[in-house]
Amino acid sequence: MRKLRPEAGFSQLLQKIAPPGLNFCTPKKKLPAGKLFHAESLTFADYVVGIYEENISKAGAEDKIRAWMLRVRNSGLTAFNSFLSTLGRRWEEITNYFIDRQTSGFVEGLNNKIKVLKRRCYGIINIGHLFQRIMLDLKGYSLFA
């Protein structure tokens, strides 16, 4: 069985964007043109997640994210276009995460649970029963123990 050669451009790109000491795997085969997913996309996504996991200041994070955005734009990938436009529109809100490292994830999750519960409980006339269902879903059976 013959081994497939990785795409030469991809290897060169990895060498340019990879921080020192970080090892990337090269793709085993080239994906067909027109596919949404490319190995390069995964590399870029992993790198930006790494920025958010680092313990750095807001200014340091802004510099790294701007450099990442430039690399993505220069790569020619279109998979990140909507993400890049969101970053541009919501720059302050997104980079403020690096000040206290707090997110609204808990509130978003709670809102989603309540929306799902409202869909499941369609037709409940008594509002008290709806709030009982919410408490049961949030606290579970610990209320009855």
pLDDT average, residue stretch 105-120? 88
Per-residue pLDDT, averaged over 76-94, amounts to: 88
pTM for this model (two decimals): 0.52
Structure tokens at 79: 């998979």
Spatial separation of the C-alpha atoms in residues 62 and 91, rounded to whole Å = 9
pLDDT at 26 over 50: no
Would you say residue 9 has pLDDT above 80? no
Give residue 142's Cα distance to chain centre. 33
- Summary mean pLDDT of the chain: 76
Provide mean pLDDT across the span 2-28.
Answer: 50
At residue 134, the pLDDT reads 84
Q: How many helices and strands (H and E) does the chain possess?
A: 8, 0
Q: From CA 142, how far away is CA 48, in angstroms rounded?
A: 39
What are the extents of the domains in the chain? 8-100, 105-144
